[in-house]
């Protein structure tokens, strides 16, 4: 991949980190903005579209996780924590930080 004449290496780990942050943002938007809009302001469409985007990002998170897992050869414990992180609202940001520190 080339950008502004410079070669950018995009391995599966760097892609996974970007997807993890996007998935984390979508989860926070879903829980803290779309859900209150649905139940407090009677705007169910907020959850429909935000939920759809979050669902797609979650599937992408898992797919990118599998590719990064194979490339990085993470142990089962670390892998389980990374998958579990996708289920907690702010945890994907922590995963990104730890993966950045590891490299």
pLDDT in tens, 31-79: 999 999 999 999 999 999 999 999 999 999 999 999 999 999 999 999 9
Q: Which two tokens stand for residue 25?
A: 């943002």
* Rounded distance between C-alpha atoms, residue 102 and residue 14, angstroms: 12
Q: What is the pLDDT of residue 97?
A: 93
* pLDDT at residue 5 greater than cutoff 80: no
Percentage of residues in the chain having pLDDT higher than 90: 83
Residue 21 · residue 94 · CB < 8 Å: no
Q: Where are the alpha helices (DSSP H) in the chain?
A: 12-29, 35-40, 44-72, 76-85, 91-102
CB 14 within 8 A of CB 100: no
Contact 96, 17 (CB under 8 A): yes
């Amino acid at each position: 991949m080339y950008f502004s004449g410079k070669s950018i290496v995009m391995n599966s780990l760097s892609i996974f980190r970007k997807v993890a942050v996007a998935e984390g943002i979508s989860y926070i938007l879903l829980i803290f903005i779309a859900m209150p809009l649905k139940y407090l302001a009677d705007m169910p469409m907020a959850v429909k579209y935000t939920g759809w985007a979050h669902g797609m990002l979650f599937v992408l998170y898992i797919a990118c996780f599998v590719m990064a897992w194979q490339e990085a050869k993470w142990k089962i414990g670390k892998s389980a924590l990374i998958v579990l992180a996708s289920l907690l609202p702010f945890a994907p940001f922590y995963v990104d930080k730890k993966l950045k520190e590891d490299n």
